Structure 1
């Protein structure tokens, strides 16, 4: 570069962004704590008013940045006519020649689970060491604060330099990601002009460690449903008919056991894996992270392939009498919750069809099966050839002071496939604030505060570097 050339704005202000992010961390932690105190569980059995309260609190966070021309809370019915949960939408148009970035996270959370298994109250944020403990502290209210704080940092540094904030910014903070994103497509349909973007950042994934960031390049899809197994018209005394009449628990156990082979790998015909190389993983570390008591993992093939690129089936709930209420009777029916993970490259519908066919073909003792609440989410593979991917990779490396990794994630974010379908010209970048110690969805979920700071700085650096980018020809043509 000659003496007369001016370095890109993103290169000029990296250190200033780092200082501003560090200065703002006490405020970030305070606001994150306030947000996680709201028990915004989006499942149907929980209080919808709390999800609304969380949405309004999230709206206020973005409104306080002063960056948006439009900011609102909206909710819509899903395809089945069920009223969805409220989401926050905001938009500021770009200055001429600048690109637009859509920032996504979700403000709803999983149920707390068994209170007795929490070391601290589930919805009372508690800092212990480097971690903030609470339900939603990481998944995904920390993602909300990453977006807020990155925008604030860039805004303040640009104002101090008297530089324009030229980027267009759109915000979509969903309110039912943990409940299947059932009305998500309506938001995309109703607000497409405000959500159209060149780059889409999904802040809802994982990192390799508290010192090593990851850019997620693959996600499994999901298929979930309730399965009821019936074998009897009514309950009967187990002493009278035990060993003669097939009870529903026996049929359920026998049926579910057909889903896996002796090593715990999925054994359902028609469920496919994705063929791709994966980095080696430390088996001992995986056993420790997952808390495997017996010290033996299930499945076959490379460890990361089992989590990223192979199908999985888990029974996540059972409706049957608990031990305290157990009587000497044959159960006429048992209801279970089945959670399946779909490997990239297979559609969720194809997976669901194969799994349901297998269950029906293998129902023992003439058992009747009933399926309800079927939800499907598609898997996702990232295109690694885009400029945005390279820019985010650089931003992460600068913020974390180490080389980032590319990673697949065993979990699912079904709405990503809908976003890519609606906005095929946008580059989707899946980042996150979690780490192997986060324990998202489990008791004692926590957010590592160092990871949170570095995630904020990464996004701020990416946005600063994007100030120098040009709007893609395809997107400009679509706008015109």
Structure 2
């Protein structure tokens, strides 16, 4: 494949990519019927199916998964002896959250300061356009020798990834032949920053719990009983404060929080900007940012049940509860980490208050094997597309499907990449994508698929 031809073809397709991303972003495909009608996800699924049909995929269909969502599934045969590559993305998106915090309409693609804003522009509809643009480039340059593409292409674009309900995970386990591949491209991550080609090699797992505290039979007057009477909310605050030390390191009994990261670093100034850390506020944890965010466990308080400030009374609280999210790094078992968190919370209870810890979801961390031929091919494609060597990074989030793929297809190489660099602010208001990332990553994917097929 001629690099200049690929680069020029992708560049010529970018106006179409913008127009189609605008169409797709305009569909509020939030897979939560409490907030948006299911018909919006159905519209997005049909849009995806039609787009990949136009680009040349065959046997396209909607397959209902166990959680009730529809996955777009397709397949097209490549030349004899060519490897099979499964391309993954998802069409569902996070809800916009606080509409007032958006500077542009969340479901309208808006260009501002060189970026394209809108919910799903990066996560993950931008990755869908990356796939489409790469495949269109291959069709235009015709390296398939009579076949539509230089490799056998399988496709799955799911519709409930953001809800975490596991529909596709269960569907893959029940239908392994449908998704079998030599290489699986999970397009739901991205580069360390704009212009830095990066493959994601690790994902943290997760373990959620709800901790409930009860100290009194019921609320009592703070004037009459305050002092000796145990305060359940204060007890909960005491328990939660035991999860970190004074420097912000995670301090859950039995969990190692000292590991280090050996891939691309995460510069402090970049992290502060990406995370929106206020001036004068310290970052948490000892060591480098990449150590803390990719290689070590981290616990977050997701919510607390207690009286709100407005309308609160002069009463000592009889009970309080919090929901916690523990991110588990590769090398640690998520179930064991969850059990360690349960034991820690129970043991940290002061004053003999009654503590109940209820485990919720848990998912294992993931580490990709990077010593196979697909990674060698990918490194060369990224280097050619970006003009610099490929880096490796971790991701603090979880993609449970990767573990299902690894367990179901132990011989497959799993590659995590995409357009979602940190400035995209995925899951937050004002999500955006830099169009150069869609363009460069489409070049990467076109080169990658062509070279896997021997071109």
| TM-score (normalised: structure 2) | 0.92
**Counterpart pick for 1:457 among 436, 443, 452:** 443
Matched, 1:194 2:183: no
Could you say which residue in structure 2 is the equivalent of 1:85? Answer: 69
Q: Deviation string for 1:415-469 (max 9, x for gaps)?
A: 2111101100000111121223111111111111111111111111111111118
**Counterpart pick for 2:97 among 92, 109, 113:** 113
Matched, 1:431 2:417: yes
Ranges in structure 1 where 5+ consecutive residues have no aligned partner? 1-11, 77-82, 470-480
Greater Cα offset, 358-367 or 310-319: 358-367
Matched, 1:397 2:386: no
Matched, 1:42 2:42: no
Q: Output the aligned Cα RMSD.
A: 2.3
**Counterpart pick for 1:54 among 44, 47, 55:** 44
Q: Is the 8 A contact 1:74 1:88 kept in 2?
A: no
Change (3 A) 1:148 1:372: farther
Q: How many angstroms apart in 1 are the aligned matches of 2:82 and 2:270?
A: 45
Q: How far has the Cα of 1:398 moved from its partner?
A: 1.4
Matched, 1:260 2:283: no
Ranges in structure 2 where 5+ consecutive residues have no aligned partner? none
Q: How many residues align?
A: 452
Q: How many angstroms apart in 1 are the aligned matches of 2:311 and 2:104?
A: 29
Could you say which residue in structure 2 is the equivalent of 1:441? Answer: 427
Change (3 A) 1:147 1:213: same
Could you say which residue in structure 2 is the equivalent of 1:290? Answer: 275
Could you say which residue in structure 2 is the equivalent of 1:478? Answer: none
Could you say which residue in structure 1 is the equivalent of 2:187? Answer: 203
Greater Cα offset, 17-26 or 160-169: 160-169
Q: How many angstroms apart in 2 are the aligned matches of 1:447 and 1:391?
A: 26
* Equivalences for residues 241-260 of structure 1 within 5 A: 241-260=225-244
Q: How many angstroms apart in 1 are the aligned matches of 2:163 and 2:394?
A: 22
Q: How far has the Cα of 1:99 moved from its partner?
A: 0.9
Aligned partner of residue 310 in structure 2, secondary structure: helix
* Equivalences for residues 146-165 of structure 1 within 5 A: 146-158=130-142, 165=149
Q: How many angstroms apart in 1 are the aligned matches of 2:159 and 2:428?
A: 19
| TM-score (normalised: structure 1) | 0.88
Q: How far has the Cα of 1:236 moved from its partner?
A: 3.1
Q: How many angstroms apart in 2 are the aligned matches of 1:343 and 1:245?
A: 40
Aligned partner of residue 224 in structure 1, secondary structure: strand
Q: How far has the Cα of 1:373 moved from its partner?
A: 6.9
Could you say which residue in structure 2 is the equivalent of 1:8? Answer: none
Matched, 1:277 2:266: no
Q: Is the 8 A contact 1:231 1:368 kept in 2?
A: yes
Aligned partner of residue 4 in structure 2, secondary structure: helix
Q: How far has the Cα of 1:181 moved from its partner?
A: 4.6
Q: How many angstroms apart in 2 are the aligned matches of 1:278 and 1:467?
A: 29
Could you say which residue in structure 1 is the equivalent of 2:22? Answer: 33
Change (3 A) 1:158 1:425: same
